[in-house]
Amino acid sequence: MSRIDELKQLIKKYDEQYYELGQSDISDAEYDRLYDEYVALEKQFPEYALMPDSPTRTVGAGEKAGTSTTLQKFTHKSPLLSIDRKAKEISELRDFYEKCGCPQVIVEPKLDGITCNINYEDGKFVNAATRGNGYIGDLVTDNFKVTDTKYPEQIDVSELEVRGEAIIPFNFFKKHLMEDYSNPRNAVSGIMRQISSKDVKGKGVQVMFYDLGQSSKNYSKDSEFVEDLKSHGFQSVPVCIANNWTELEQIVSSRLNGYIQQVDGFNVLMDKKKEFPQAVCDGLVIKVNDFKLREEIGMSQKGPKWAFAYKFKPLQATTRIQKVIWQTGKSGRITPVALFDEVSLGGTKITRATLNNIDYMNQMGLSWNDDIVVERSNDVIPRVIEVKQHNEGIDEQGNKESFNQPLLCPVCHEKIKVIYPLLYCDNPACSAQIKGKIVHYASRDALNIVGLGQGIVDVLFENQLLTDLPSIYDLKDHRQELEALPKFGQKKVDNLLNSIEKAKNPELAQFIYGLSIPEVGKKTAKDLAQRYHTLNDFLECTMEQLLDMEDIGEVIAQNILDFVSNEHVLKWIEELRQKGVSCKEVQINSDELKGKTFVITGTLAHPRKYYQDIIEAKGGKVSSSVSKKTCAVLIGTDAGSKETKARELVNKGESIVLLTTEEEIASYFGI
């Protein structure tokens, strides 16, 4: 296969992963390098540019768009195309600007989420859809309605198609989703394509609007449309206007006048006034502001010639690989990790980075002693993005080593299940999976066992003092062995054993969360505890009961059922009970508020838990988002978008009670 054909197939594969599956085996920077190489070769072989499946002509996942879901398809009223001009160099941006005639431009953040649009007909909201291949997308109306998006149900424009980006705020991602997803983009991509809206609600998704599709109202400039969006109550992105190159260069170099900052290796849209969420960005979009001039400049096969994507340069360093290790996580997935000479990225010292999977490694042709490029950009874990130079060298055994796929789990040495290119250990007794589950079980939001973090768990496993979850409660019988361990002592052992003893009578929600049920986070665990009240009742849950719960859809329900019917899990739970673990029964003092949902927002006189305990003791439920089903909203200072949404619904006739003072709250709840 020629290099151009190879590149074409690689780009198609990565486009399908990124746009259709919400995954990415390579970084954005590596993808851009492959794409740029393809474009250069296509200029040498122009016949490739005429092919309908050329990467320079296709949008999103192309012909594969929509094939991974059973969601209903929707044909967009106008195409949602890509920005064809993109680069990381300021000189290329200036070249674009000058070719457009140095016009007034509008600059906005390039949000790192999934593109979608919503439609209004006769002034009323009718549907929402993902971009898909630019022409046909997935209809996600029900999913969109349960997001935390600020948008009007009705507007004074008869026909409107408005584009936005579905994102998960960075602060929400760090708190709730970082364990399960490598970045917010992957998280929102997977969540928004769920079949049931119950699997979307409460996951932090918001859509930020930024572009016009079609409208019955005429606009002369993009900036006019953006202002109109704000006036109608849409959650829109912050924008800047540049009238000349000096202004544009200043806006770009300052990262949208300081709105975009680097936080933990991510480029995050930040606002002290909290007028918009903390959205992760991967650059800036520069567009000609005047709509008439846009028509004159025109379009390419893939997208507008009047727009440019200026992408931020990722943090990178070159180092030399020492070895590859294979790590088994608590889910059983086995991931290759490169160990290399220490480098610093953004002030953080790094000696390891992910290699994603075996397919990714094979494409790089990675072998021992090679010089590699390590990158960190909008991802939790640094990754190896390329081999800079293949070096001669031998390993400890005197051989030139290449890194091959293991045949057995590196931890328990059981046979691996291959779902190419991913590898899994299917052994539920695998110590790596167990260690991961123990660390999660002991975490602050679960059983809160202080002193049982990853490092300590590793040491205790190595000394055979821990073997599974129930063995945590046997550590009291091994005080002498514990005190003899390096960096242990009487006080440290006392603190650990006391914390374990306190963890014998957890809240039911803590215990359910601590069991590591796939996709069951803190909120879902709390909802399950409120629904079932006791551990026995929870273990007898049915599909019908679970689907009847407001925020649980088919995927999560099936995960729960699979988990509670697993013999290995049930054996562990029984052993935990025998060792004295007894979950507190959820006390419902009355059914006064049964079936009613409340929202708490802003800063009140007491901590949030104070009000939540009162509501739940009376049989009510606390939700993270305002909807037509909300019974009442407790509103403190700096309440933000939830208060706005509640008042909008009240103005439309919804019977939501707004409690704005402590006196009103006390009177309502009888406290």
As annotated, the active-site residues are: 110
Q: Are 519 and 554 in contact (CB under 8 A)?
A: no
Closest-CA residue to 27 (of 314, 420, 367): 314
Asked whether the beta carbons of 354 and 384 are under 8 A apart, the reply is yes
Report the Cα 494 to chain-centroid distance in Å: 39
Q: List strands edge to edge, sheet with 240-242.
A: 86-87, 307-311, 281-288, 105-111, 240-242
Strands 105-111, 315-328: pairing kind: unpaired
Q: 263 has which bridge partners?
A: 266
What distances in angstroms separate CA 331 from CA 455, 515, 564, one per listed residue? 19, 12, 16
Q: Which residues, other chains included, contact 585 with Cβ-Cβ below 8 Å and sequence gap of 6+?
A: 508, 533, 534
For 95, what's the count of Cα atoms within 13 Å in the CB-facing half-sphere? 10
Cβ contact 111:281 at 8 Å: yes
For the chain, count helices (H), then strands (E): 23, 24
Tokens of 75: 């044909």
Whether the Cβ atoms of residue 317 and residue 287 lie closer than 8 Å to each other: no
Distance CA 530, CA 510 (A): 12
**Residues ≥6 apart with Cβ < 8 Å to 352:** 337, 338, 339, 340, 382
Measured in Å, how far apart are the chain's first and last C-alpha atoms? 75
Q: Which residue has the tokens 């999934």?
A: 114
Around Cβ 21, how many Cβ atoms within 10 Å? 16
Interstrand relation of 371-376 and 159-167 (parallel, antiparallel or unpaired): unpaired
User: What gap in Å lies between CA 164 and CA 153, rounded to an integer?
Assistant: 16
Q: CA-CA distance, 55 to 63, in Å (whole number)?
A: 12
Q: Give the CA diameter of the chain.
A: 82
CA torsion angle 575 578 584 590 (round to 10)? 100
